[in-house]
């Protein structure tokens, strides 16, 4: 039986559970985000120094030498399904719900947006992660949550470029099915790995970490022509030294464009023929990867042989998924909810 909304003292929560960053927005006006890291002190010394038994986000990352660090979502799914990573997802969900400040709410209705592949593979694990902290649950794909929040639900294509995956969802005025969605694993983490490899090859005496390289991409990622050189400082044989990484940054960021363009055309080409041009006029980019400078124009150029495309980067990509999930939570009829 579907749950019944027995009272008005319900807190609706929208969560965007992402590989790199997770965000929460609640009907009481609370909103917050956190990097998707969870850390447990390695031993009693670490616990004494840190003063707590569990750390999240930037704090966990900054203390990664003292903690067992988990980044539980990888390539859009809960990593390896291990007990530690499943525990990390539960703790992260709890942490996000605490941000929402449930207070005296008698019931919590949580809509959780996840990468499309996680929705297919890990839905049970996500349900287990949420059930201790919410009364009712709805799990949706991130690009659909973004689309719902934007209010564009017909004849449109949403492309959510996250850290683990690039998720596609084509909208035709109804709830999307599996055939309406696609997933690529060439997201932000793929770019980071490619950039790390190229930098280590070019600067063999320099010291790079994945965290450092991810920061380079987030600060300076671009495709097309850069207005200025990308120069960063790294340790080389123990000496902090400036290096130029412009060419490497451009190469790895441009590397994701062909697959995104090809997948977009694959989805559009099987759409109702009368409305394909309308879809081409309503393409939206979301997720952290949408912030790579020049990406919208590069995709437009890659797709020009198939016609004119209007590509829009959504406002506030950090919270767009969570805002859309909250909008779904506020609007969704009772039969779509799972009672926890």
Report the pLDDT averaged over residues 277-304: 96
CA proximity to 110, closest of 239, 193, 15: 15
Over residues 313-322, the pLDDT tens digits come to: 999 999 999 9
Q: What CATH fold (topology level) applies to the domain 188-254?
A: Nucleotidyltransferase; domain 5 (3.30.420)
| Angle at CA of residue 89, ends 84 and 94, nearest 5° | 125
Output the pLDDT for position 267: 95
Instruction: Give how far Cα 136 sits from Cα of 5, 108, 129, 290, 332, Å.
Output: 10, 7, 12, 31, 12
Output the pLDDT for position 18: 87
pLDDT reading at 6 higher than 50: no
**pLDDT above 70 coverage of the chain, percent:** 95
CA proximity to 285, closest of 191, 195, 156: 156
Confidence of residue 73 (pLDDT cuts 50, 70, 90): confident
Output the pLDDT for position 3: 45
Give the position of tokens 């451009």.
Answer: 250
- The CATH architecture one would assign to domain 10-147+319-339 is 2-Layer Sandwich (3.30)
CA proximity to 146, closest of 324, 330, 328, 332: 324
| Distance in angstroms (rounded) separating the CA atoms of residues 181 and 117 | 10
Output the pLDDT for position 308: 95
Over residues 162-191, the pLDDT tens digits come to: 998 999 999 999 989 888 999 998 999 999
| Distance in angstroms (rounded) separating the CA atoms of residues 70 and 307 | 44
Expressed in percent and rounded to 5, the helix, strand and coil fractions of the chain are 45, 25, 30
Structure tokens at 209: 């970490």
For residue 122, give the DSSP letter. Answer: S
Over residues 7-17, the pLDDT tens digits come to: 568 899 999 98
pLDDT reading at 43 higher than 50: yes
- Core vs surface per residue 288-302: b (16+ CB within 10 A) or e: bbbebbbbbebbeeb
Over residues 97-144, the pLDDT tens digits come to: 999 888 766 789 999 988 777 777 777 778 888 888 888 999 888 999
pLDDT reading at 1 higher than 60: no
Burial class (CB in 10 A: 0-12, 13-18, 19+), 99: buried
CA proximity to 309, closest of 267, 277, 286, 287: 277
Residue boundaries of the structural domains of the chain: 10-147+319-339, 188-254
Q: What is the mean pLDDT of the chain?
A: 90
What is the full DSSP assignment across 220-241? Answer: H-B-S--SS--EEEEEETTEEE
Query: Which 3 state secondary structure label does DSSP give 163?
Result: coil
Over residues 226-285, the pLDDT tens digits come to: 778 999 999 999 999 999 999 999 999 999 999 999 999 999 999 999 999 999 999 999
Structure tokens at 293: 């400078």
């Amino acid at each position: 039986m579907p749950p019944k909304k027995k009272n008005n003292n319900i807190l609706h929560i929208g969560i965007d559970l992402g590989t790199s960053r997770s965000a929460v927005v609640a009907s009481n006006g609370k909103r917050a985000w956190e990097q998707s890291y969870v850390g447990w002190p390695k031993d009693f010394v670490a616990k004494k120094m840190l003063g707590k038994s569990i750390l999240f986000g930037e704090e966990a990352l900054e203390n990664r030498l003292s903690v067992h660090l988990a980044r539980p979502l990888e390539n859009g799914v809960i990593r390896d399904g291990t007990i530690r990573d499943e525990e990390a997802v539960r703790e992260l969900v709890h942490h996000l719900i605490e941000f929402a400040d449930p207070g005296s709410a008698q019931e919590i209705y949580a809509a959780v947006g996840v990468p499309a592949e996680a929705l297919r593979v890990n839905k049970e694990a996500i349900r287990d992660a949420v059930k201790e902290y919410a009364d009712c649950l709805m799990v949706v794909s991130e690009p659909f949550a973004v689309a719902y929040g934007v209010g564009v639900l017909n004849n449109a294509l949403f492309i959510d470029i996250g850290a683990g995956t690039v998720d596609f969802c084509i909208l035709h005025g109804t709830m999307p099915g599996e055939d309406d969605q696609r997933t690529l694993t060439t997201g932000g983490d793929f770019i980071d790995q490619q950039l790390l490899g190229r930098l280590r090859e070019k600067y063999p005496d320099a010291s790079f970490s994945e965290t450092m390289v991810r920061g380079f991409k987030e600060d300076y990622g671009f495709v097309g022509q850069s207005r200025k050189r990308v120069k960063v400082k790294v340790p080389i044989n123990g000496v902090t030294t400036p290096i130029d990484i412009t060419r490497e940054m451009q190469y790895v960021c441009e590397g994701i464009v062909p697959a995104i363009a090809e997948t977009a055309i694959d989805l559009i080409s099987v759409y109702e023929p009368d409305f394909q041009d309308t879809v081409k006029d309503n393409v939206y980019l979301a997720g952290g990867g949408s912030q790579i400078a020049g990406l919208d124009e590069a995709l437009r150029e890659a797709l020009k042989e198939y016609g004119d495309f209007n590509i829009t980067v959504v406002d506030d990509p950090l919270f767009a998924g969570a805002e859309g999930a909250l909008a779904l939570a506020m609007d969704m009829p009772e039969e779509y909810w799972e009672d926890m």
